[in-house]
Every structure is written in structure tokens, then in C-alpha cells.
Chain A
Amino acid sequence: MLINHLLPCGTLTDAGSSFWRTLSINEKLDLLFFLRSVRMLDRRMVLWQRQGKIGTYAPVEGQEAAQVGSAYALDKKDWVFPSYREQGVAFTFGISTTSIIQYWSGRIEGCKPPIGYRYVPPTVPIATQLPHAVGAAWSIKKKKETGIAIAYFGDGATSEGDFHEALNFASIFDLPVLFFCQNNGYAISVPFAEQSATKTVVEKASAYGINAYQVDGNDVLAVYHVVKTAKSKRKPALIEAVTYRTGAHTTADDASRYRPEGEVRIWLNRDPLYRYEQLCLKEGLLDEDQIEKQDQQVAKELDRTMREVEKSHPNPSSLFTHVYHQIPDWLKKQQEEAANDVNHGSIHC
């Protein structure tokens, strides 16, 4: 059963109405702020890629509710293991836009979590972060901490061995870990029906004896509610957020080659931002002018951050830091080599 709180037109379902009543005004406004900010950040990132300011980029558009709703349910002490399309998770969890922009500018500084945060650098090879989340959840359990671990991945990841090994481990050792799958319909070009012999992701959970929730991934309230609930149980769970990536896999990909236009149109009508904004306006939480003002502030801040990142340059000798706990003497020689190379101008940076 697909859990749904907010219909595409912005009307609450019965379950949605009762959940809505439990939320504070701050929570309600936060969700809107994050949804709008993430979309603005994401659209700018695509633009900046086109302008040559950042590298190849994986757009989030269409999946904002899944990312914002889930990340908003997390606490600072939780472990987060994102995949590479989780800018919405990062932003909502409190990772700076500087880090996000740096990462997509090919700068390793962008991988470094802020002090005290257990936000792990985005994992690029598919599904490999799931066992890491299992291990982190294991450490939580062994130390009797209160947090959980959450791993983010897509529908394609469910075909990888690491997905199955991770769910099996999590269940056998009964660990507080959430496997959050954004089923956005495609693994680059391959549709879910060709990826998986089961019709849903959630039904795979029964093979491992763990809880599963299938939720409308374009419904920020339902996602927030489901993740909050799953988190409170402190048990392994598989969550399938059914969503759609309205853009391309990355800026290096043309989705029209493999995706019918009509399908995209259907999903544009299920836009996660529109429906929540309609709800907030209807409920009188704020008006369009206030939204506009908020947007302008966010836009200004994003553009300022981009300029800052552009102004700074990485130092080639940082290639060698953190490969080992300390730079060994034998590697220092190579570090000096690199430094001298730069001094002679043979590396342009």
C-alpha cells in the first residue's frame, strides 16, 4: 500500500490531515523552505554546469520531497550515507552549499562533513554504501547510542549484491538502519521493469524479514511521517519512495533518448513542490510575496557562495594528505615532486 498524505493538487488525505495537525508551524514552514531552496540550488547547479563553472552534475529535480522529507526526519547524531544525487538530503541535513558546490566542482574539500556531523561523502559506486550504513548502525547498537543510520540509493542499486548483503546483515544482527530507496523509475536509461523482476522495491524486504514502507516520494509529508515512524522503531527497514527524476541522469545525458515525453508530463503534474506550496498557501501559512522574498534571499546566498568557491583554488600538495593517517616519508618525496612541478608552472591551476 502506497502511503500518501498529500494529493498532487495540494489536498490532504485523511491520514495526511491528522499528521498535519501534529506538526508545528516551524516544521511546516521548514519543509517549504527546504523544498524551494533545494529546487533553486539544483536548477542553478545545472545552469552552472552549462556555464562551465562546475563539472558533470546529477540533478535532483522531481525528487525533492523524498530527499527533504526523509532528511528532515533525521537528527544531527544520525549517520547518513548518501549516494551522488542527494543534494536535497545534504542541504536539509545542514551540509553547507559551499561543500555541495565544491564537491561538484571536483574539489575534495566538499566531501568533508562539518564537525560533529556523521554525513559521509557521497558514494559513487552503486549500493556500496549500504554495508557501511549497516556497520555504522552496528556501532550505534554496540555503544548503546540513540541515533540510527540511513543509506540513500536508487532503484538500480537493488540489483547489486551489496544491497542484498546489507539487508541480510541488518536483519541478522537486528540493527537500527534505514534503507531509503528513491525509486525514480530509471537507472540511467533502464526502466525499473527491466531492472527488477518484482513490481516494487518494498516486496524485496520480505526476503530478509525486515519492515518495509512504500510511500509516495513526491509527498513530503508522507515521507517525513514514514521516516520518523521507521526511525523510532530502531529496527532495520526498507523504505521505497516512489518518485521520478524529471531531468536527465546527469548533465551528460539526454533522457529523451529512452523516456517517453508523455510519461514525463504525467510526473510533472505530480510535482512535489507545487502540491506542498499549494497546501501552505491554502492554510495561510504565508503568502506569495513572502515566498518570493525568501527565494530572493536564498538566491543571493547561493550566487555569493558560487563566487566564493570560484575564487579559491585547490593546492596540489593536498593530494597527499589523508591518504594515510600521516603522510609517510616515502610519500612526502612525491608530495615535494608535485609541489616543485607546480612551482615550475607545469601544472595549471
Chain B
Amino acid sequence: MLTMVQSIADAQRVALEIDKNVLLLGEDIGKNGGVFRATEGLWEQFGSERVIDTPLSEAGIVGSALGLAMGGFKPIIEIQFLSFITPAFEQIVSHVARMRLRSQGVFSTSMVIRAPYGGGIGAPELHSDSTEAYFVHTPGLRVVVPSSPYTAKGLLLGAVASPDPVLFLEPLRLYRTQKEEVPSDYYTLSIDKATVVSQGEDVTLIGWGAMIPLLLEASRLLMEQDITADVIDLQSLSPIDEETLFASAKKTGRVVIVHEAPRTCGVGAEIAARLSEEVIDSLEAPIKRVAGYDVPYPLFALEHAYLPSVKKVVQAVMELVYFQ
């Protein structure tokens, strides 16, 4: 039985074991095992040549990881918090995402950039942002988000196996909330696919990461009123698994998309646009978004007022069910 953060450490252990070209780079990931302990025990097992404590230098980490990838290595980088990725933004969007194209396939850009993200744990200022949309908007990158210990290991190993660069966003709120059986061996899950984690008939709830337990709770409450929901864990934010979303929307005719990121130009907007282009004839009500407000992520005293909640989701579903 592992927590998500333990399963992430386990996935990296397996990756280091099976491929000698895998390297871990990040701040405090060595002796300290990472600020969240997501690399616990790996420095001791694999040494400082493979589990590398770097200077505090996000652009330096990502930029040199690109050089390492071009040279045939497979870097797995830890960015301490997604909120701190911005110094590396240029390296990621201008180079990691483009070098394969610019060199016409000659140079590999294969790497995984791990970053804990999201709010809800009362973290200090600028530790809780959900900026996934910047990266989903960047062609050449993949963006993957797990929501449980089991999916975290399988998706992370799937990301490591991908020849494309992957931003792997870890919902830090779920790091230690759940323990489940996680195989100790190597296994991968598809990093292209959404999964339907709970089935229903009346409404489709779409989310990812820390929103999944919240959607499942909302779905349980709705059941008391005889409203059943498809709960879809998107998992892959880029690419978006349209097939799974369209099939569910066609079946239920109602869709609520839930994310922590601000509403405007969030990934929910893209999902809503695709649904309206392709399945609008099957919809019985407008597509709803329950998202963060269009304000900077608040200091933690008010994060409960900012974040999507079970209540907000249930309310959104009710509006759709009783839409005239």
C-alpha cells in the first residue's frame, strides 16, 4: 500500500533501474529526498551521478536537461512547485517543445518535467497555482496529471517511456490522502487517454488531479437525488482524449468541467469548445464550468473561497438538470 508520493518515488526507482540513461535532476532531490519526499531513498540507492542535486536554477535545470536529452540521456526533472516553473518557461516553450521540430527529428527532446501543483493544503503564497493551460497551449509538449497512487506510477512510467517531452503535474493535495495497492514492478498506463472512473446516465463530470475525489463525492451526493454521473478523469491534458469525452457527453447530454485554474482560457474552455463543435446536437443544456475565479491564487486564508467545492459542483449539475 503506497501513497501517491511514495508511488511516484517508486516509479522513479523503477525507471532508474531499467534504463541507465535515466537521470534525476532537481533542487533538494538528493540527500533530502525532495521537499515532498518524492525522490526518497533514490540518492542513497543510485548515487549522486544519477540523482543530481542541482543549483537553485530552474532555467539552468531545464536547459541543461535538454542538452542531456540531445546527448542521449533521459532526464526526469523535479520543479519544486509548478508556481516556480516560470524561470524555466522560456526553456520549456521555446526549446524543449521545439528542438525536435527545429532539428527536423535529429535531436531528442525526450524528458519528463515533474511538478507538484494545485492548492488546498494551506501552502505559503505562490505555491498553489495551476498553470497547466500555458503548457497545453504549447505544441510539442504533452501534459499528464494522475489522480491516485496507482495511476501516478503507471502514468509516470508511461511518461518516461514517451519519446516526447512530458510535463507531469502532481496534485500535491493528493500526495498523502490515499493509500492503495501499487504493483512494485514496471507497468505503464497510456498517457493519451482519459478514464471514466464512475459511470452514470444524467451528467458528465470532467476533471483531473485533485478534482477527481471531489467529483466522486459530488457524484455520491447527486445519487441521493437519483442523478447519476459519468466522472471522467482526463489524465492527459495534452492531447485531449476527445473520443471518451464525446461518447460520454452524447450519452448524458450534460457536461460540467471542473478545474482549479482560473476560468478564462483554462483547459475547460478548450474542452467546452470541442464539445460545442462536435456534439452540440446531443446536449440538453449549456456546458458548465466550475473553476477558479479569474484572480491570482489567493493566500491560503481564502483558498477555500477560491477553489471548486463539492457544493459548487452539485449546484452546477442541478442547474443543468433543471435547465429549461
Contact = CB atoms under 8 A, between A and B. Distances in A.
Q: Answer yes or no: do A and B interact.
A: yes
Interface of A: 79, 108-109, 111-113, 118, 120-121, 123, 125, 128, 130-140, 142-143, 149, 161-162, 165-166, 168-169, 172, 321-325, 328, 330
Interface stretch (B59-67, B206-214, B226-234): B59-67
B139 interface: yes
Interface string B135-177: 0000110000000000000000000001110000000000000
Interface string B48-81: 0100001101011011111111111100000000
B45 interface: no
B100 A112 contact: no
A111 B71 contact: no
Contact of A325 (B57, B63, B68, B100): B100
Given A125-B90, A323-B140, A324-B140, A165 B57 contact: yes
A131 B60 contact: yes
B63 A322 contact: no
B31 interface: no
25 contacts: A79-B70, A108-B101, A112-B103, A120-B70, A120-B99, A123-B95, A125-B90, A131-B64, A131-B91, A135-B67, A135-B68, A135-B70, A136-B67, A138-B64, A139-B67, A161-B59, A161-B87, A162-B60, A165-B55, A165-B60, A166-B64, A168-B57, A321-B101, A325-B100, A325-B110
B94 interface: yes
Nearest to B52: A173
Given A322-B100, A325-B163, A132 B63 contact: yes
Contact of A328 (B64, B69, B106, B239): B239
Given A136-B67, A140-B71, A172-B55, 8 more contacts: A128-B63, A128-B90, A131-B67, A135-B64, A139-B67, A165-B57, A166-B63, A168-B55
Interface of B: 49, 54-55, 57, 59-60, 62-73, 87, 90-91, 94-95, 99-107, 110, 139-140, 162-164, 192, 239, 242
B104 A111 contact: yes
Given A131-B67, A136-B71, A149-B67, A322 B101 contact: yes
B146 to A, nearest CB: 21
Query: What is the interface of chain A mostly: helix, strand, loop, or mixed?
Result: helix
Contact of A131 (B49, B63, B71, B164): B63
A123 B103 CA distance: 11
A142 B70 CA distance: 13
B71 A113 contact: no
Ordered nearest first, which 5 A-B pairs have the shortest CB separation?
A135-B67, A131-B63, A139-B71, A165-B60, A135-B64
Given A108-B102, A132-B95, A325 B164 contact: yes
A129 to B, nearest CB: 8
B94 A125 contact: yes
Contacts of B140: 323-324
A285 to B, nearest CB: 38
B94 A132 contact: no
Contacts of B162: 325
B101 A128 contact: no
A128 B94 contact: yes
Contact of B105 (A142, A149, A169, A322): A322
Contacts of A325: 100, 110, 162-164
A347 to B, nearest CB: 19
Given A128-B95, A131-B59, A131-B63, A112 B242 contact: no
Contacts of A165: 55, 57, 59-60, 63
B61 to A, nearest CB: 8
With a 10 A CB-CB cut-off, give which of B64, B66, B110 has the most chain A CB atoms: B64
Contacts of B242: 330
Contacts of A330: 239, 242
B66 A131 contact: yes
Contact of A169 (B54, B72, B101, B239): B54
A143 B57 contact: no
A91 B104 CA distance: 20
Nearest to A161: B59
B105 A321 contact: yes
A107 B57 CA distance: 34
Contacts of B107: 120
Contacts of B59: 131, 161-162, 165
Nearest to A111: B102
Nearest to B239: A330
B63 to A, nearest CB: 2
Contacts of A139: 67-68, 70-73
B121 to A, nearest CB: 30
Contacts of A120: 70, 99, 103, 107
A162 B49 contact: no
Nearest to A170: B64
Contacts of A136: 67-68, 70-71
Nearest to A324: B164
A324 B97 CA distance: 9
Contacts of B68: 135-136, 138-139
Nearest to A115: B106
